[in-house]
Amino acid sequence: MLDTAPAGVETELTQFFAAARLRASDYGEHYVALWDSLEQASRGGKRVRPALVLAAYAGFGGRDQALVAPVAVSFELLHTAFLIHDDVIDRDLARRGVANIAGQFNDRALAHGAAADQAGVWAAAAAILAGDLALSEAHRALAKLPVDVRTRLRLLDLLDRAVFVSAAGELADVTNSSARHPLTMAEVITTLENKTAVYSFEAPLQAGAVLAGATAEAIRLLGRYGRLVGVAFQLTDDLLGVFGDPLKTGKSVTADLREGKQTALIAHAGGTESWSLIAPYLGKIDLSDEEAERAREHLRACGAKAAAEGLAYDHSRWAIEALEPALIPADLRASLTELANAAVNRSR
Amino acid sequence: MLDTAPAGVETELTQFFAAARLRASDYGEHYVALWDSLEQASRGGKRVRPALVLAAYAGFGGRDQALVAPVAVSFELLHTAFLIHDDVIDRDLARRGVANIAGQFNDRALAHGAAADQAGVWAAAAAILAGDLALSEAHRALAKLPVDVRTRLRLLDLLDRAVFVSAAGELADVTNSSARHPLTMAEVITTLENKTAVYSFEAPLQAGAVLAGATAEAIRLLGRYGRLVGVAFQLTDDLLGVFGDPLKTGKSVTADLREGKQTALIAHAGGTESWSLIAPYLGKIDLSDEEAERAREHLRACGAKAAAEGLAYDHSRWAIEALEPALIPADLRASLTELANAAVNRSR
């Protein structure tokens, strides 16, 4: 399995936030609080993207931990920025049950005597600005890197593609959710790939490999692996969001149904005769546990569960097949193979 | 006066958007529309920031127009990003009477059959993502610059400071507007400086000078000039927002009063015995033209208009005084002096 991101990345992030907080203290308590909230937001994750950057870098012989750490930090802060702005778009005031930046500044405004609608403006301002600050540092960490011009331009292009494609995926996710009919399976997969797989898997792996001086062909294969494994992870997430064990995953198994989320399950069901039985449950705000269970039975019976599981396994397998032994070093291949297997074998 | 930004900057921007639109076409019509909206948003302005970059660069002997153009583009796109995200924070669907990105995507969602609340999500998503894309390109334009390491790091630091300080100013602007009492004059000036003067005047001038190889002392003076002239401009804007001629400025003279905007006028009035006469008009959503005229009379009578005008002139004069003849080349000094005079001599 991948190593967790080592201490160097945490140190780099801690130093960045300590310096920012010190600078922010010249601009008042609210701005210091904004940086505290941003640091907290960046602490929530599993550091998947840094781990991928470091694995690819080490896998292709990279040894300079001080050089690779800012690249890992760049992709982690890009992720932080996207999550924060995603929450603004979805109007969420909490993430994983804890007040997010908007939620914290909504409370802060009320504590400072602001009216409710004004508190909403504080919340939006804080979250939008925090995302902008994280996004800016993601760019800056790469731009400052002491590497040759060619390497820098290639890293900048990877980051550029990550931002460009993720924005397309995020926009598609929003416009898709207004669709009155189920999406096609191809539309679902493309959105998963664009919104998350490119910036979370493809780009971090390729950045680590570029920095280590891997060949163009190896970098291409890592990109292919990253897109496929990213889709496998998300297909599995969506399965766990309906059929998982909340005690093990920490994820509700009714929220996606209530929201009418357009997943691979729904895309499959939409093409079967069971659709008219399933559709009434989707997007039903007050869906009961019994109704959710009935929706699950229909999704099983029409083959949607099996189809989504099959697709997740296919993507995991295709990802592993992309790791050509002649081009991807054995140690890296072993850990990426393990990661691809783990993507689809999670507790449910 | 400053030259308007020459064709090189427009060409650079046009090429950037043409390339982005072509790339976006792989991701569906909504994403192409997003890039169209972003380009349109970037077309609205007067290109003040590019003009300042180019003036400082040429003033210190810079001659490579292909080198300076991306720096000018960087600060223009930074401005575009801030305006777009500012509109999201203020929940505005229009800018200067024309539908902004959020307004355009709200309409687009409704045309595609989305419900009203869902249209609001399209609007927020489009505007937040468009701002992120503009901000990313602002960073990328500098990061790609073919200059020596030291120059690149100095330019990146200027951009970093611009983002950091503007975010502080924007947040302060929002939190200040919840204050139940008038701000102090110092608070008003600091917010104008942080929110706008640093990124719009200080940083573009310093970036042009850094790129041309100006001395540290000259760069410091340009920064001082930029902050002061930026404040002079905004103090005058706020005067025109209450006492201007809408036919000449295109600006409402009741909107700021209705909104209860915390300007230098209000800060001065807050410290006088007329405050209790003025306060009831501020933030009154349905303020009539007659009431606005009465508020103006009180603001004149208590000396607020004269005080704000005096402060604007002081900042303009201090800005000019910062341009030490021994350090700032004569041609640049002449055009910056003219700019500082124009800042406070605008039609009202």
Which amino acid, residue B126?
A
Class of domain A1-146: mainly alpha
Nearby residues of B295 by Cβ (< 8 Å), 6 or more positions away: B242, B257, B278, B281, B282, B287
Which amino acid, residue A262?
Q
Cross-chain Cβ contact A109/B178 below 8 Å: yes
Regarding the domain delimited by B148-348, which CATH topology (the fold level of the hierarchy) does it fall under? Answer: Farnesyl Diphosphate Synthase (1.10.600)
In this predicted structure, the answer to whether residue A5 has a pLDDT above a threshold of 70 is no
In this predicted structure, the answer to whether residue A33 has a pLDDT above a threshold of 90 is yes
Quick: pLDDT tens for B293-327. 999 999 999 999 999 999 999 999 999 999 999 99
* pLDDT band at residue B347 under the 50/70/90 scheme: low
Q: Which of A80, A129, A165, A177 to mutate to test the interface with B (most CBs of B within 10 A)?
A: A129
pLDDT at residue B250 in the model: 81
Q: Nearest to residue A105, comparing CAs of A50, A160, A194, A40?
A: A40
Give the residues across from B98 on adjacent strands: B95
Angstroms from A79 CA to nearest CA on chain B = 13
In this predicted structure, the answer to whether residue A348 has a pLDDT above a threshold of 60 is no
Give the residues across from B94 on adjacent strands: B99
Q: What is the mean pLDDT of residues B140-169?
A: 98
Quick: pLDDT tens for B173-184. 999 988 888 999
* pLDDT band at residue B1 under the 50/70/90 scheme: low
Chain B residues with beta carbon closer than 8 angstroms to that of A20: 164
State the burial class of residue A282 (Cβ atoms within 10 Å of its Cβ: 0-12, 13-18, 19+).
buried
Cross-chain Cβ contact B152/A146 below 8 Å: no
Q: What is the mean pLDDT of chain A?
A: 95
What is the helix (H) or strand (E) element at residue B95, kind and residue range?
strand B94-95
The yes-or-no answer to whether B1-146 and B148-348 have a common fold is yes
Could you give the angle at which helices A116-143 and A101-111 cross, rounded to 10 degrees? 140
Q: Nearest to residue B164, comparing CAs of B136, B198, B137, B187?
A: B198
Chain B residues with beta carbon closer than 8 angstroms to that of A118: 177-178
Angstroms from A4 CA to nearest CA on chain B = 28
Q: Nearest to residue A328, comparing CAs of A230, A175, A222?
A: A222
pLDDT at residue A63 in the model: 96
User: DSSP letters along B156-210, please?
Assistant: HHHHHHHHHHHHHHHHHHHHHTT-SSPPPHHHHHHHHIIIIIIIIIIHHHHHHHH
Cross-chain Cβ contact A27/B172 below 8 Å: yes
Q: Point out the residue among B34, B128, B178 whose CB comes nearest to the CB of A128.
A: B128
Quick: pLDDT tens for A149-160. 999 999 999 999
Answer whether A128's CB lies under 8 Å from A88's CB: yes
The token pair that represents A202 in the structure block: 């493809």
Quick: pLDDT tens for A94-111. 987 899 999 999 999 999
In this predicted structure, the answer to whether residue A347 has a pLDDT above a threshold of 70 is no
Q: What is the mean pLDDT of residues B218-230?
A: 98
* pLDDT band at residue A7 under the 50/70/90 scheme: confident
Answer whether A163's CB lies under 8 Å from A200's CB: no
Q: What is the mean pLDDT of residues B246-252?
A: 85
Angstroms from A199 CA to nearest CA on chain B = 14
Quick: pLDDT tens for B94-127. 987 899 999 999 999 999 999 999 999 999 999 9
Q: Which of B16, B17, B25, B27 to mutate to test the interface with A (most CBs of A within 10 A)?
A: B27
Dist. CA A204–CA A138, nearest whole Å? 12
Q: Which of A36, A80, A89 to mutate to test the interface with B (most CBs of B within 10 A)?
A: A89
Q: What is the mean pLDDT of residues B237-259?
A: 91
Chain A residues with beta carbon closer than 8 angstroms to that of B180: 113
Angstroms from B164 CA to nearest CA on chain A = 7
Answer whether B254's CB lies under 8 Å from B289's CB: yes
pLDDT at residue A234 in the model: 97
Answer whether B180's CB lies under 8 Å from B209's CB: no
pLDDT at residue B158 in the model: 98
Dist. CA A98–CA A81, nearest whole Å? 17
Quick: pLDDT tens for A208-239. 999 999 999 999 999 999 999 999 999 999 99
The token pair that represents B331 in the structure block: 């041609």
pLDDT at residue B7 in the model: 78
**Residue in chain A lying closest to B123 (CA):** A89
Quick: pLDDT tens for A110-158. 999 999 999 999 999 999 999 999 999 999 999 999 999 999 999 999 9
What residues does each domain of chain B span? 1-146, 148-348
In this predicted structure, the answer to whether residue A88 has a pLDDT above a threshold of 60 is yes
In this predicted structure, the answer to whether residue B5 has a pLDDT above a threshold of 80 is no
